[in-house]
Structure 1
């Protein structure tokens, strides 16, 4: 009986540490990358077909290019994981919601321009999120191409040429 209780305690501690590590992933993101994650979460939470609250899980790839005069272009691919909280929880509140493991991850890619540390409306920020099992290679290619075009149209060097993948 003591051994079973000890094992249960160990599993609980492991779950808390694992959850805290994921939470630290969001906290550890630079502010400009958090803005892109927050933008994706806001759009996801307003979509009528989405029934769960989501939280940042981890980065897959991210890159940025500074084009001068305080202007930067960002590309960030990341995973969002469903939580047990109700849909519509604020971004800051949802960072404490426990993850659920019975739903697929959402794979998101965002690209946007900032000036003076604010997301610019032109070119329009691009957010593409899809459940991982439904994300096709064609969708991946299309979203990368969209972000490349966004940078070329503005005369900036391409972000994806300097993309640094993190796994």
Structure 2
């Protein structure tokens, strides 16, 4: 009986520590909002049948423009899960990953004031299956994000890396 109770406590502690290490929860609030924008866009596509979850950051940068305004760039992977996107009772952050589908390579850049994403300029979101990402697409992403920060007179967004 005591051994079973100890096993149960250990299993609970392991689950709790695994949840505490979730990379999504380790992101700052404003970067999580950018990931959420990408997830929202991805889930709006008819051809996407399963939820995706944040897997890891590849690169991120942030430019302070003054008066609490920042320009953010975040390059990350999303991984498909086993949960159907039409299942409403499931928290996507608890869905188990599936390993039979490619990762989604995403880049987002946006302007934020305080802890809110600004609608002007419109946030840029680009996600594509990792194997389909071309060098030309990478260049297009980079150039778009550079233009976003240049049009406001801010230094280049991709010049300062925080990741």
TM-score, shorter chain, exceeding 0.5:
yes
Which residue is 2:133 aligned to? Answer: 135
Report the CA distance between 1:24 and its aligned residue.
1.4
**2:29 aligned to which of 28, 31, 34:** 31
CA distance in 1 between counterparts of 2:87 and 2:35 reads: 15
Distance 1:31 1:124, change over 3 A: same
**1:110 aligned to which of 108, 111, 118:** 108
Report the CA distance between 1:51 and its aligned residue.
2.1
Structure 1: runs of 5 or more not aligned: 1-12
Please give the secondary structure, in 2, of the residue aligned with 1:85: strand
Which residue is 2:160 aligned to? Answer: 162
Which residue is 1:48 aligned to? Answer: 46
- Report if the CA contact (8 A) 1:23-1:95 is conserved: no
Output aligned runs, 1:1-167, within 5 Å.
20=18, 24-88=22-86, 93-165=91-163
TM-score (norm 2): 0.84
CA-to-aligned-CA distance 1:18-71 (integer Å, 9 cap, x gap): xx3796110000101000000000000001222221000000000111111110
Report the CA distance between 1:73 and its aligned residue.
0.7
- Report if the CA contact (8 A) 1:110-1:128 is conserved: yes
Please give the secondary structure, in 1, of the residue aligned with 2:70: strand
Please give the secondary structure, in 2, of the residue aligned with 1:146: helix
Structure 2: runs of 5 or more not aligned: 1-10
| Number of equivalenced pairs | 149
TM-score (norm 1): 0.82
Please give the secondary structure, in 2, of the residue aligned with 1:95: helix
RMSD: 2.2
